[in-house]
Structure 1
Amino acid sequence: MKKKLLGLVMGTGLVLALAACGGGGGDDQAAGGDTVDAEKITAQKCSTCHGEGLNGGGAAPKISDVGSRLSKEEIENTILNGRGGMPGGLLKGEEASAVAEWLASKK
């Protein structure tokens, strides 16, 4: 009984956390042709799950130093296709590429 309850609580928490991460469904380009502010996008769309300063949260691991573990291409692939409990497609196109490049610089 305790295992079922724990599974239910963990599953519910994961669903809520992923819903909070939700992507904006915007275009591949920044509004008005402006340059993409990867740090701002990351703060808005990633810190909900990955925690303040990207130091890890209840639902997601620390990524404040992800560039020391993964290349830009690997990070972008994770953003686009998901990994573990993270769904793919939260960012797309230019935003995904800019955030991956910014995160890759975090060592």
Structure 2
Amino acid sequence: MNRNPLIPFALIAFLGIGLMFLLSFVGLDNMDEMAHGDEGAGEIAEPATPDEIYAASCISCHGDQLQGTIGPALANIGSKYDAAHIEGVILKGQGTMPPGIVDAEKAKILAEWLAEKK
């Protein structure tokens, strides 16, 4: 006797659809928890130190040692520009650097930190 070759595929499809419904109902039970979660859990911490801000926003173009890659080297930028000028460049952009990569508060922290690099 010949077996029907569609039976295994139908069983797999039936089990897959059943599993989808089961997981959907589990998700419905946990919907509020997933939407709101624990207070403070899963939140991304804002970078606070100049090193953290630099690592989060600048390292891809200026390198991990301020050596410059796509963007210019910043290892001794403080000997060329003061903090106010550096802050202006961070906020407004210059050359290939786009404006507004970080907000004004972080730009001030970065500018003061970079102005010390001489």
Shorter-chain TM-score range: 0.5 to 0.7
Note the aligned Cα RMSD (angstroms). Answer: 1.6
Deviations 1:31-83 (A, max 9, x none): 5xxx93111111221110011211010x1110111111110000000000000
After TM superposition, the runs of 4+ consecutive aligned structure 1 residues lying more than 6 A away are: none
Structure having the higher Rg: 2
Aligned to 1:67: 78
Aligned to 2:90: 79
Query: What's the TM-score, normalizing by structure 1?
Result: 0.64
Aligned to 1:4: none
Determine which of 51, 54, 57 is the counterpart of 1:45.
Answer: 57
What amino acid sits opposite 1:64 in the alignment? A
Query: Relative contact order, CA 8 A, sep 6+: which one is greater?
Result: 1
In the alignment, structure 2 segments of 5+ residues that lack a partner are 1-44
In 2, Cα distance between equivalents of 1:93 and 1:101: 12
Query: What's the TM-score, normalizing by structure 2?
Result: 0.58
Q: Within the alignment, does 1:106 sit opposite 2:117 as a pair?
A: yes
Aligned to 1:23: none
**What secondary structure does 1:83 align onto?**
coil
What amino acid sits opposite 1:82 in the alignment? G
Q: Is the 8 A contact 1:36 1:94 kept in 2?
A: no
Aligned length: 74
In the alignment, structure 1 segments of 5+ residues that lack a partner are 1-29
